[in-house]
């Protein structure tokens, strides 16, 4: 090899150095991704809400109709379908709550990541290189 390992290391570090342009590009990409997640989340919220309202309405109607008919043996298939629909609605509601938490955590994580990038850009180049060497040798 014609180049020393330290020179190659410095070149690699210079390539990964956060520049203002890279940071701005990353911010735009992150914001676009979060906007897409928000739109999908809102769509999911409406769909889940509609499914849950339909499931509870159908279950209520099925139980009321079965109760008013005063049958000794009610129509089991309708009640089974109503319970299945209600369970599906509950599962979708739980999935929605999990996705909401996931999106909130992702937003916070990306905000923290942007703060780290800003702090890295404020640090002088010399202290970053020396700090990395100290951590490696310890």
Q: How far apart are CA 129 and CA 9, in angstroms?
A: 10
Give the distance between the most distant pair of CA atoms in the chain.
94
Q: How far apart are CA 55 and CA 97, in angstroms?
A: 18
Q: What is the pLDDT of residues 50-87, one digit of tens each?
A: 988 998 898 888 888 888 877 667 778 888 888 888 89
Task: Check whether 23 has a pLDDT greater than 60.
Answer: yes
Task: Check whether 124 has a pLDDT greater than 60.
Answer: yes
User: Is residue 12 helix, strand or coil?
Assistant: helix
């Amino acid at each position: 090899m014609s180049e020393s390992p330290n020179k190659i290391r410095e070149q690699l570090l210079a390539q990964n150095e956060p520049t203002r342009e890279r940071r701005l590009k990353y911010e735009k990409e992150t914001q676009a991704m979060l906007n897409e997640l928000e739109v999908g989340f809102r769509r999911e919220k409406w769909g889940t809400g509609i499914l849950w309202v339909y499931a509870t309405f159908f279950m209520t109607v099925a139980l009321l109709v079965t109760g008013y008919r005063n049958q000794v043996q009610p129509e089991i298939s309708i009640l089974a379908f109503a319970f299945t629909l209600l369970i599906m609605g509950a599962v979708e509601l739980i999935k929605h709550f999990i996705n909401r938490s996931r999106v909130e955590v992702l937003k916070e994580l990306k905000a923290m990541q942007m703060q780290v990038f800003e702090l890295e850009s404020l640090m002088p180049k010399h202290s970053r290189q020396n700090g990395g060497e100290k951590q490696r040798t310890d």
